[in-house]
Structures are given as C-alpha cells and as structure tokens.
Structure 1
Amino acid sequence: MDFVIDYIYTVFIQNFDFWLIFGLLAQAMFMMRFVVQWLASEKVGKSIVPIAFWFFSIAGGVMLLVYGLIRKEPILILGQGLGLVIYFRNLWLIFKEKRRDPTI
C-alpha cells in the first residue's frame, strides 16, 4: 500500500508545476469533445458528430502536443501529431461539403 501512496505523491504532488496543470487542462479540453458529441447525439436521438467535436479535438490535440513537446514524451508527440492531421482533414472535408451544399 505504501508503494501506491508513494507513487501518487510523486506523480501528483512532487511533480506539480505549471505544465502538470496545463496537461490536465489539455486533457479536459480533449475530453470535452466526447461530452459535446454525447449531448448532441442525445438531443437528436441518434449518434452524430457535431463540428464542435472537431474543434475540441484540435484544441485538446494542440495543447497535448505542446505538453508532450515540453515533457519530451514521444508517445504524446506522435499520437497527437498524427491526430491533428486527421482532425484538420475532417474539418476541411466538412467545410468543403458545406461550400457545395450550403443547406448542410
């Protein structure tokens, strides 16, 4: 049990700094995309992906990428770097479709 307490102390107390707060906020921003998607789906009674999902994905992805770069975390850098390409591409496709059919 002491190992668990020591681990929690090291991770959340000993390492507490601006970047830990930034990383937590980044993760919260990233999580909001699922909250937005869930609420939008509940509202219409079927699964949908609102545009806000992609904006929260980009905001959270950029923040997590910055966090990964500062903390020198290769998994976050690679994961968020690729994710950002996908999020921007999805937004581009959505806006391209809206230009063709403004009723969407």
Structure 2
Amino acid sequence: MNEILGATNWLGIQWHPMKVVGWLGNLLFFSRFLIQWIASERAKRVVVPIAFWYCSLLGSLLLLAYALYKRDSVFIFAYVFTWIPYGRNLYFAYRDRTKSHPKRAPHPELPPDS
C-alpha cells in the first residue's frame, strides 16, 4: 500500500502525500499564533489580523483531511466543526471591509462600468 501512495522513509519516518498534508495543516495552524502575536506586538494591543483566520481555516481543513485519512474519530471530532467560526469570521471581515470601502463613484472623464 505504501508503494501506491508514494511513501518514502526519511529520518526513520514513513512519509506519504497525506502525511505532508497533515504537516502542512500543522504548520498553517501553528503559524496563526505567530501572526497574531506579531500583529499584537506591533500594535501594542490585541489584534487578530485576517491572516489569522485564513491560517485557521486552511490549517484545520488540512488537519481534518488527514484525520479522515487516518480514520481517527478523536482527531476527526477535534477538527470537524472548527471551520464554522473561522469561515464566519472571514465572512464578517469581508462584509465589514465592503461596507467601509464602498465602490468609488466613477471618474467623470471615464465611461461608467458596464
């Protein structure tokens, strides 16, 4: 089975494409903490940048894919619902951005958008 998935042994670890997916999920999920920490340090107050929510969403989805591959019910349950608040926060951020930056009025010398 490992030959079919393209598994290789490196540093005593069996690597295959789904393990790479799992590690990418871990790296994205971890990076969100660094992103939030750096943004807060720069602002000298608590800040949750949009990149935090993207890393949360993508990282949790990759970890869910890996958990489904492993068929580990504990791991699956840990990530099966996390995309909901992450996606919702991205929706709110997008909605708020479009409200605070309405489309500009067309330039008087340019033809209107079609």
Q: Same fold (TM over 0.5)?
A: yes
- Which residue number in structure 2 is paired with residue 30 of structure 1? 29
2:66 counterpart of 1:54: no
Q: CA deviation at 1:75?
A: 2.1
Q: Which runs of 5+ in 2 are unaligned?
A: 1-10, 103-114
SS in 2 for 1:41: helix
Letter aligned with residue 65 of structure 1? L
- Residues 1-104 of structure 1 mapped to structure 2, 5 A cutoff: 13=12, 16-18=14-16, 19-102=18-101
Which structure has greater strand proportion?
2
SS in 2 for 1:16: strand
Q: CA deviation at 1:93?
A: 1.1
Taking only the aligned residue pairs, the percentage that are identical comes to: 30
Structure 1: how far apart are the matches of 2:22 and 2:50? 24
SS in 1 for 2:82: helix
SS in 1 for 2:84: helix
Q: How far does the alpha carbon of each residue in 1:21-55 deviate from its partner, in whole angstroms, 9 at most, with x for none?
A: 43222211110000100011111111100000000
Instruction: Tell me which moved more, 89-98 or 46-55.
Output: 89-98
Structure 2: how far apart are the matches of 1:75 and 1:86? 20
Structure 2: how far apart are the matches of 1:75 and 1:95? 32
Letter aligned with residue 17 of structure 1? W
- How big is the alpha-carbon RMSD for the aligned residues of Structure 1 and Structure 2? 1.9
How many residue pairs were aligned? 91
Which structure has greater helix proportion?
1
Q: Which runs of 5+ in 1 are unaligned?
A: 1-11
SS in 2 for 1:22: helix
Query: When the two structures are superposed, what TM-score results if normalisation uses the length of structure 1?
Result: 0.77
